[in-house]
Chains A and B, each alone.
Chain A
């Protein structure tokens, strides 16, 4: 085998020091606000059911599980953190590694660092205020940002893709894709797959325009993309979910958290059906989370922020690998 130099870190020492400083600042921010730092397991016997997320899995055999047990590596610490909230923890935060199968690219690494926090008594709009305060403070030494803006999902599509994402038909999406010379996956034109059409225009037309020199929050997502957010009644009903963008990069995703155990179980089951239909792994759903929700989740909002992407923005890096000591290609 030829000698290689990929034992060396991908990030410069300067960037690694910036990472450490940002972690310190995050801990100081939450400690000043009385938000408790917690740690929850990376391994779980249950997995996320969302068909758009794939879990990595490993196997433990030994005391307690003499015949071996599959454990899934978490894609976010959301479920155990909600169990802590239901147990009366009050507002909490966590900084941890999370894992996603199949995701690798300029903005993706299969393992990455997530900052996730929950605020009891907040709704998603109040949490957006806090996200803006934290991110502005963290980036202030390196990036001068304009006042943050908030756009509804509908407004963002109207402004940057020229259509209403809640009422547009496949033909409307296709017409915009043609006009913008966006290469369309071949089976999409024949299928009435509105969710994929929205994601195509979101990634190709809308996202690149978001957060230019300022934080842009997108909120009020289609109910079909609610994930673990509450759904607000209305026409159409919309998910109490938000995302944060800066310089075209998706940085955070938050919810006014769904607290209804029955509704949560119904969503998990729908997602498992969708996974089965698409030939994806049908994973065990998290009964302990559902039990905690039945016991009562306090009214809260939560958000997950991609820490590596935040470092990228602070360092002016073009790819996530530039801010990681050892990205997956040298792991």
Chain B
């Protein structure tokens, strides 16, 4: 298995930490003039998403994690799995609940997502930054309101609930930022 020494550490590097795949978020070289050199690292566990701080003596090594990001198109879900397809090779792949997590509510058929694979198995699913979804349920807004001040909850076709301006109506499609969960505009 390939290994990385502290000299190769940089943001984005995928390594094995305590048996889990992890991504380096930030790497700082610290060394007293006449003392031991350390790499002080912030590192994100790719399984649970938690970021922790670790320190390595410079020269230590970590095993490389076989982690790769691929773009795949979302097809459909059954009760257990979310199915994706590589649009070039037509290869299909199923992601389980742990991989999809809360992002399930943004997944719309045909949308291209980034799937993080660990040893070839989906570890995480990242929806597009912006998705276009139809409103399936929202209270009728007050007539004449065009500013959007205040807003109201709207349930989208994928089950997500977002706050939308009062003038937006049932059956309309809207753009939503999946990172913040906020309404952007009418589609």
Q: How far is the CB of B55 from chain A (nearest CB, A)?
A: 4
Give the contact stretch, choosing among A136-144, A199-207, A289-297. A199-207
Asked whether, in the complex, the Cβ of A103 is within 8 Å of the Cβ of B60, the reply is: no
B42 to chain A, nearest CB (A): 9
- Cα distance, A53 to B37, chains bound together (Å): 10
What mask results when residues 148 to 191 of chain A are scored 1 for a CB within 8 Å of chain B, else 0? 00000000000000000000000000000000011111111000
The contact size tier of chain B is 20 to 34
Do A204 and B55 touch (CB < 8 A)? Answer: yes
Please, how many angstroms separate the alpha-carbon atoms of A182 and B52 in the complex? 10
- Is B36 among interface residues, defined by CB-CB distance under 8 A? yes
Query: Closest approach, in angstroms, between the C-beta of A196 and any C-beta of chain B?
Result: 5
What is the bound-complex CA distance between A154 and B32, given in angstroms? 17
Q: How far is the CA of A243 from the CA of B33 in the complex (A)?
A: 9
User: Is A225 engaged at the interface, CB distance under 8 Å to the other chain?
Assistant: yes
Answer yes or no: A104 CB below 8 A from chain B CBs.
yes
Is B29 a contact of A106 with CB atoms below 8 Å? yes
Residues B31 and A225 in contact, CB atoms below 8 Å apart: no
B53's partner among A50, A53, A105, A183 (CB-CB below 8 A) is A183
Q: Which of A213-262 contact B (CB under 8 A)?
A: 225, 227, 243, 250, 253
- Shortest distance between the CB of A23 and any CB in chain B (Å): 21
Verify A202–B35 contact, CB threshold 8 A: yes
Which B8-49 residues sit within 8 Å CB-CB of chain A?
Answer: 28-38, 40-41
Q: Contacts of A61 on B, CB cut-off 8 Å?
A: none
* Cross-chain contact A52 with B55 (CB below 8 angstroms): no
CB of B58 closer than 8 Å to a CB of A: yes
Whether B36 lies near A106 (C-beta < 8 A) is no
Q: Which of A44-101 contact B (CB under 8 A)?
A: 50, 52-53
B58 touches A199 (CB 8 A): no
Give chain A residues whose Cβ lies under 8 Å from the Cβ of B52.
183
Contact B31 A183 (CB under 8 A): no
Find out whether the CB atom of A199 lies under 8 angstroms from the CB atom of B55.
no
A13–chain B nearest beta-carbon distance, Å:
28
Does the CB pair B54–A183 fall under 8 Å? yes
Contact B34 A253 (CB under 8 A): yes
Residues of B contacting A199 with CB < 8 Å? 32, 35-36, 38
CB distance from B45 to the nearest CB of A (A): 13
Q: Is B56 an interface residue (CB 8 A)?
A: yes
Of the candidates A106, A188, A250, the one whose C-beta lies within 8 Å of that of B28 is A106
Instruction: Give the docked Cα–Cα distance between A200 and B7 (Å).
Output: 18
4 closest Cβ pairs, A-B complex: A105-B29, A183-B54, A199-B36, A199-B35
11 contacts between A and B (CB under 8 A): A102-B7, A102-B37, A106-B29, A181-B53, A183-B52, A185-B38, A185-B55, A187-B57, A198-B35, A199-B38, A200-B38
